[in-house]
Every structure is written in structure tokens, then in C-alpha cells.
Structure 1
Amino acid sequence: MTSTTGAIEVAATVDVETDTGAALQITGVTKAFGDFLAVDHLTLTVPSGSFFALLGPSGCGKTTTLRMVAGLEQPTTGTIAIGGRDVTGTRAHQRPVNTVFQSYALFPHLTVGENVAFGLRRTGKSEIARRVAEGLDLVELGHLAGRKPVQLSGGQQQRVALARALVNRPSVLLLDEPLGALDLKLRRQMQLELKRIQTEVGLTFIHVTHDQEEAMTMADTVAVMNHGRIEQMGTPAELYELPRTAFVANFLGQSNLVPGTVSERVTSTGLLAVDVVGRRLLVPEARSVRSSGDVLVGVRPEKLRMLVGDQEPSSGENVLGPGTVTDVSFTGVSTQYQVEVAGLGTFGVFAQNLLGGSTVAPGSRVRLAWSMDFTFALDGADAPDEGTVDLDDEP
């Protein structure tokens, strides 16, 4: 049974310390390591009580940003404020933050309860016992207080580390790739568990991750970082449904992007007509980053459907093709198709397995259709493959 007393007290403490409405304010922060610019004039406000994710590939600057917030690195320029107080020059132990790491960092010779109590040494014994009990109840591990870390699973150890960070009642809890050491199934369970705990305690969580699913599952707001800057920030749904750069479109999920040129502005309907290899595609102007010139027309794989034989598109659908199905992969929930369209390349199509498996065989000739309402358009200067995984760069 989860205790709510500690959660109420933690939330009340945060309200006092973050009366500006912002738990974290980063203003014009730059961090250089010699000639390498890790963070480039970053300005960011994280509202109090939110679950905020910094998402990006390795080397994008997200971990460096977290370390500067924690006080483990100092900015080259710029300021960092927590709860309305400038902490730029203060040391790590003087800041109202705690960090949960991927490595757990538990003391193997101490019990679970002693690990959680470690940061409360200056508190009275009865108060320590109460807060440790509340912290372990919050992560549903009160029954394991007497065990050593080696007797726990990876997920349990991570929850102990989380309880240890929470009992100090920080204004901001920093999560540095906290689920990276867990297997896939446990990682997904812990995503839901972390979100439950954050909602219950009302603290500000700032989560650094390269895992798109983690960020989208847990965070209220996601900031996608690339080369030390924020490419785009918004709710998971906003970023996924309406990316504004090719990097975001490709890094957050998968996208089909093809080059085209705006040929007409259909002002009476709010649509742009875009020429793509002689085909006229329609894009809502509100879903395009520009209304003239070269663009990249985009659509997510699950929005596409394949027209086979004499099947015709519905009213309001864009159509490309014909193309040839080159690969079929059954993934359980869906079947993923690869369709090669002459002059445009390969399109990914995700079809939900409503009928129990694939319905179109490799080698089939198909056309691709999708609602114009799901179409978006990016700047034509963007590289269509920006943000995709480059296998040659993988370690």
C-alpha cells in the first residue's frame, strides 16, 4: 500500500521553493570543451511540477546540460536558476537537486533502508525512520528494507535509488538515462512506474534519454536536442504529429520524406499544392513550415495504406505510385512493408494486423494513399535522412 503522506509533504515543499512557476530556468547557456561546443546558447524554462524530457542522440548536449543543472559542470556563459534562485556559481551539494543515474550507485554493504537513509544523517532518528518508510512505500519496496542491494533485481535497485533521491525532497529530480541498464520488458514497466511516482509526489522531473519511447511514454513536454541546440519542443503528440524539421521527423519515430516544390497556394481551402515528380499532393498550409519554394513532403508510415489492383483512393487522399513491395516484416501488432517507388525511393508502411497477418505479398504492385490531413511539409533545405540511424557511425 503506497503512503500518500510523504507525497503531500514533498509537493508542498516544492510549491514554496518554486513560487516563480518555473522549477528550472536556463538562459543563454553555452558549454565549450576546448574547441568543441557541447551546448550552444541554450535557453529553456521547465515549469514546476512537470515531467520534462531532454531527448537526443549521443553527443547532442543533453547530458552536459543535466550536469550543469546538477552543478557537476559550470557553464562557459549563461545562467541557471532553480526555483527562481540563480545557482550558476554554486556547488553541487548546495543545489536543491538530486540525480538518479543509470548505474544505481547503491552502497553494497548497506541495507536498502540504510541506502535510502544515507542522505538524511543530519535529521533526527525518528524523522529518518519515517521518511525512509514513506520513500520505500512510494516505490512499493517497504517489505525489502532489510535486504542488501545484491539481493534485488535491477528494477528494484533502480527504485531504491529513486527513493533515496526523493527522501531529500529536492526541488528538481534529475534522471540521467535511468532505465538504460534494464531489459526491454522491465524498462517499459519502469516507464509507467516513474510516471506514477512523479504524478503522486508532484516534483519536477527532468529526464535525459536517447530513447524516443521513454520520452513519449513519460514526459509532459519533450525537448529534442541536436548539436547543442533545441530543434523543437512540445508535447509528445505535437512533436510526433507535426515535426518542424527533418531531424525531429526522423529521430522521433519514422517518417517518409520526399522532395517537392510548392506549385500553388489554394487560399480558399488553406491548402498548398506541391509537385512531387509530376504528382500533385495537397498539404494543409498550417502543417507546412513554408508556403513557397522547395519543401520535403512527409507522412508517417502508419498513416499510409496500400491500394492493390483496382482499389481507388478516397476523397481527400494524396496518392503516390505505383510501387513494388520489396519486403514484408511481421511484428505482432503490425506488419511493416517496404515499398519502392520509382524516382522517390523506399516508403515504409505500417499496417495494423486486424486480420492476423500480412495481406500483401512481396513483389506486389501497389499505390500509396493517405489523408491530406496527415501530411506535413518541411524546409526543402533539410536533408531527408537527417536524424536517421547511420549504421556506419554506430560503435
Structure 2
Amino acid sequence: MAVREFAERGADLELVGIQKRFPGFTAIESLDLTIPAGSFFALLGPSGCGKTTTLRLVAGLEEPTQGSILIGGADVTNTKAHERPVNTVFQSYALFPHMTVLENVAFGLKRRKVRDAVSRAHDALKLVELDHISQRRPQQLSGGQQQRVALARAIVNRPALLLLDEPLGALDLKLRRQMQLELKTIQEEVGLTFVHVTHDQEEAMTMADTVAVMNKGAIEQMGAPEELYDLPRTAFVANFLGQSNLFAGEVVGTSGDALLVDVAGTRIAVPTARAQRHTGEVTIGVRPEKVVLHTEAPAVASDRNALGPGRVIDVSFSGVSTQYLVDVPGAGTLLVFAQNVGHGPVAGLGAEVWVDWHVAHGFGLVDEPGTVARFAADDSTESIAVQRREALVAELEEG
């Protein structure tokens, strides 16, 4: 059987004016969203942002407070979960331990008295390359194999829409990356509409055609992964989808196609076309891998921005790159990623350095200026950096 014959054609998903309130709080304020048929769509955001609630609303496991849900143009808002052309793959897999792999995949079809249930189950297992172990039980499988069985069980029902709720969260890093690629390949082969909920930025960017970054029950920005990463519109997106160096300053003029922003007495240029706001106080930024570290003041160039001198307050080796934290008076702490193409780090802890980057790599945010994090760091990273900075300051004062 041809792969295209395996599943029904994916369907559009439309959420119109969706709101979901629980006692004491609102999970989703107002959500309008259209996901085209056959696409791989990711809802990305931190815990509590509303992404799982959105998935449960689509699946029929929750009812919206107001708004409509349409699948393939049909309003399913008041349709029960089992009557919707939707299947969900959960992080827990939820396989029946007393059944074989084949029996797990065929279970739903047999309950609906589908005539060729076993044959279709074998086809689904062939698609995920597990038909050769169809007689094993779930406990005899690895985590990755169990995940693929759960996927086969969902696909075999030929849903118009497949929902993935953190499906790779229980896997180790290496297997998770392998399964990201396999899931994307399977989605392209069967042509279903996949909606994937995750808090893992790399997972969303690796697998999805379109990513919607959610925050506090609303979508902050939506687009292709490379678009969101290269040109974030808000500080939340800039720091949740990767890491960013952000600066606040006043627009003091223009130079050609660029705005000039005063950052602690230094004029930083950002392309006008890549800036959301063009007057007054603004927030601008640059990704850490675009920043170059120098042990001497770089030559002045019209197409590059430069800051310094500053002090290296943390050095972290990660294999392919080294991460530096550089404290620049007035500008704050900058994060720099340097590829390890030579021997050892470019600069050591406490070294005096300068940083620069190409003007074309900068971006301007829509946010009102305020207290903004220079980069996104978890508590442990921030704590270590503070401790090392204090130790370095004390050492320099003694010297």
C-alpha cells in the first residue's frame, strides 16, 4: 500500500476567538489561529503559558469558555473527543502492557470493528519500522521503540489531525534528537497535520514548519523557525527561542539604512528594516554567536558595532564552542559564543576584551524599554556568574 493511501489527507485547524477560564485564572485570553492542512506546527512556550490547554481544547478534553474550533472547515466545538478526527500521542505513551505491539496498534480499530484491523496495524508498524517486533510486549522495548509504537497506534486510525503532547520528553538526549528527525520524516510521508506542544526550543525548530511562541495565554510571535530566531519581535521571544544580548537606549539619528542608538555613550547601529520601533527609547539586540571577541580594540568600521573594553567574568567550554560572559561598563553583561576552531579559549577569566558584530545582524524589538535581561540564563548559570564576578572584582581590588 502506498504511503499516501495510508492516512486520510490532513485537515486545516482553525481556532476562532478561543478563551479558556478556570476558577481563579484565565489560561487563554483570546486566541485566533489557523494551521494549514499537512503542516507540522509547534506550540512552544514555558510551563503555564497555555499550550497544553490549547491542545486539550482541540482534542476535546476541555471545553472553551468561548470561541470556536474548526477541523477541515467543520465546527467541532461541541463534538465529543472520540467523535473528532483527532488522535493524541502523549509523553507517557500509555501502551497496554499485557498486549503485544501489534495488539496495541490494532486495539482501536478492533473496537470499532474495522474489518482489516490487523493488516492496517502491520502497515502502521512498517511505517515506523517496527513490524519485525510486532509480537513483543511494551516492556521488552526501548523508550524510542515505545514512542514509535504509540505513534503507529495514533496514525493507524487515519486522523485528520495528530496532536503530540511533549512526546519525546521521556527520552535521553541522543535518542530524542534521533526521534525528532524520524517524526519529521514520518509526518512528511503520511501528509497528516501535526500539532506539537513542547517547551524545548531545539525540538520545535528542528521539527516544525511553523512555530508559535506562546506566553501568558497568547501567541507572542509566529512564523518559520529561522524567521523567529533571526528576527524576534519581543524580548520574550528573543530570550526564549535561544539567547540574546539586549540593550536599551535612545534613537539619536540615522546613518544610511540604519538607526543609531545611544547605548551607555556608544552609538550602536541597527538596520531600520529590522527594527520594530524607530524613535525614542528602544530595545535592540544581537545573538551571542554573531558577536566576536577581541583581545585588542578592533578597527573602527562603518558596518560593525563595537563595545569595550570589558572583563571576562566567566568562561564555559561546551565542546564545539566556548561561552564567555563579558562585563562591559555601562552596557552590562554580554554573552558571546565562540567556535572552537583553534587551541584553547580566546581569552581567560579576568582578561580585558572588546566585542563587535556586523550591523546587519542586529534587531530592534517592539517592547517598551525597561529592565531587560541581557541574555536568558537559568538560576544556576546566573548564580555562578555572580559568584565568579564578585571573586574577580575582589581579586582585582587586592591586586
TM-score after normalising by structure 2: 0.92
SS at 2:226's partner residue? helix
Count of paired positions? 378
Give 1:134's aligned residue: 123
Distance 2:139 2:60 in 1: 30
Alignment of 1:106-145 (within 5 A): 106-121=95-110, 122-125=112-115, 127-145=116-134
Alignment partner of 1:361: what SS?
Answer: coil
- Quote the offset at 1:50 in angstroms: 0.4
1:281 aligns with 2:268: yes
2:106–2:117 contact (8 Å) kept in structure 1: yes
Aligned to 2:3: 7
Instruction: After TM superposition, give the deviation of residue 311 of structure 1 in Å.
Output: 3.9
**Paired position in structure 2 for 1:154:** 143
1:331 equivalent to 2:318? Answer: yes
- Partners of 1:154 and 1:382 lie apart in 2 by 45
Q: CA deviation at 1:357?
A: 3.4
Partner of 1:70 in structure 2?
59
In structure 2, C-alpha distance between the alignment counterparts of 1:81 and 1:319, rounded to whole Å? 51
State the distance in 2 between where 1:350 and 1:295 align: 25
* Distance 1:336-1:35 versus aligned 2 partners, 3 A rule: same
Kindly state the Cα deviation for residue 313 of structure 1 after the two structures are TM-superposed.
4.8
- Matched with 1:391 is 379
* Contact 1:338-1:346 within 8 A present in 2 as well: yes
User: Which of 166, 177, 183 does residue 188 from structure 1 map onto?
Assistant: 177
Q: Does the Cα contact within 8 Å between 1:248 and 1:387 map onto a contact in 2?
A: no
What is the identity, as a one-letter code, of the residue corresponding to 2:357?
Answer: W
Q: Matched residue of 2:62: which SS?
A: coil
Q: Which amino acid aligns with 2:233?
A: R
Q: Which is further off, 373-382 or 333-342?
A: 373-382
Matched with 2:350 is 363
State the identity as a percent: 62
Give, in whole Å, the separation in 2 of the partners of 1:261 and 1:386: 17
Alignment of 1:297-376 (within 5 A): 297-376=284-363
Deviation at 1:355, TM superposition (A): 1.3
1:36 to 25, 47, 58: 25
Amino acid at match of 1:391: D
Letter of the 1:295 partner, please give it.
Answer: V
- Residue number in structure 2 paired with 1:380: 368
Q: Does 1:172 align with 2:184?
A: no
State the shift of 1:330 in Å: 1.1
Counterpart of 1:61? 50
Matched residue type, 2:40? F
- The DSSP-based 3-state class of the residue aligned with 2:9 is helix
Contact 2:52 2:165 in 1 (8 A): yes
Tell me which of 48, 73, 88 is aligned to 1:84: 73
Aligned-residue CA RMSD in angstroms? 1.6
Q: CA deviation at 1:34?
A: 1.4
Q: CA deviation at 1:388?
A: 3.8
Deviations 1:52-71 (A, max 9, x none): 00000000000000000000
Provide the rounded CA distance (Å) in 1 between the counterparts of 2:375 and 2:188.
31
CA distance in 2, matches of 1:75, 1:131: 34
CA–CA distance in structure 1, aligned partners of residues 171 and 41 of structure 2: 21
1:7 Cα deviation after fit: 2.3
Unaligned stretches of 5+ in structure 2?
381-399
Q: Which amino acid aligns with 1:66?
A: L
> CA, structure 1 residues 386+71, in 2 after alignment: closer, same or farther (shift >3 Å)?
farther
Structure 1 unaligned regions, length at least 5: none
Counterpart residue identity of residue 5, structure 2: E
Question: How far is the alpha carbon of 1:258 from its aligned partner?
Answer: 1.2
CA distance in 2, matches of 1:124, 1:41: 40
**Residue deviations 1:315-352 (CA, integer Å, cap 9, x gap):** 40001111011111111110111101112221110011
Task: Say whether the 8 Å CA contact 2:245–2:334 is kept in structure 1.
Answer: yes
Q: Could you say if the C-alpha distance between residues 6 and 356 of structure 1 is closer, same or farther in structure 2, counting changes exceeding 3 Å?
A: farther
SS of equivalent to 1:346 = strand
Equivalent residue letter for 1:182: L
Contact 2:244 2:376 in 1 (8 A): no
CA 1:150–1:144: 2 relative to 1, 3 Å: same
